[in-house]
Structure 1
């Protein structure tokens, strides 16, 4: 069965929700995925734990939360890339991420080898 764009975006969102729960201890409140040409943008809302929220009340704490979250994702990079490659059938060229210690949102951007969106035209 060939998935439509919205179905594939939903499948990626569900996989990222599962990844966050299994590897980082708790899932985000919401995940939204957007496929745009050769990139996949994933927006995760509500990813910070209560402890991280308290820690992020100081400048040093914000830096620590960002550093730890970035390192965790970097250590699990191959898991994420394999997951996206399995779902999309495309090789992941690069992965970029950032987290807001103010809003508790994380953005993950995957760049693929080919234009995934063209599949749906």
Structure 2
């Protein structure tokens, strides 16, 4: 069965939400995934706790929250790569992430081994 781009993006968002709850112990408020050429770009909103927002009031606390949150995500990277591979059939060749301590959003970018968007457009997936 051929999947649409929107269906696959929704499946990725759902899988990331499940991973967050299972691996990190809590999920974000919302997750939006977009497939663009050979990348999957994911925006997770509402990831910081009230205590973390409080810590972010000074530079030392802000850097501590960023470092700890990014370390947690990086420690689960193998599982995240498997999720993307299982859903898309594409290997992840690189991964980038950062979070905004002002908005509480995290951006994840998975760079894939080939152009997933074109494959979806051609109905190859």
TM-score (norm. length: structure 2): 0.94
Q: Following superposition, which runs of at least 4 residues in structure 1 exceed 4 angstroms of deviation?
A: none
Runs of at least 5 residues in structure 2 that lack an aligned partner in the other structure: none
Question: CA–CA distance in 1 between the matches of 2:17 and 2:11?
Answer: 10
- Once the two structures are superposed, what CA deviation does each residue of 1:2-28 show, in whole Å capped at 9, x if it has no partner? 210000000000011111111111111
Question: CA–CA distance in 1 between the matches of 2:118 and 2:38?
Answer: 9
Partner of 1:101: 101
Pairing 1:72–2:72 present: yes
Q: Give the match's secondary structure for 1:111.
A: strand
Question: CA–CA distance in 2 between the matches of 1:87 and 1:111?
Answer: 14
Q: Give the match's secondary structure for 2:19.
A: helix
| Equivalent residues in 2 for 1:1-121, closer than 5 Å | 1-121=1-121
Deviation at 1:120, TM superposition (A): 2.2
TM-score (norm. length: structure 1): 0.97
- Once the two structures are superposed, what CA deviation does each residue of 1:39-83 show, in whole Å capped at 9, x if it has no partner? 000000000012211111121110000000111111111010011
Runs of at least 5 residues in structure 1 that lack an aligned partner in the other structure: none
Calculate the aligned-residue CA RMSD, in Å: 0.8
Question: CA–CA distance in 1 between the matches of 2:53 and 2:20?
Answer: 17
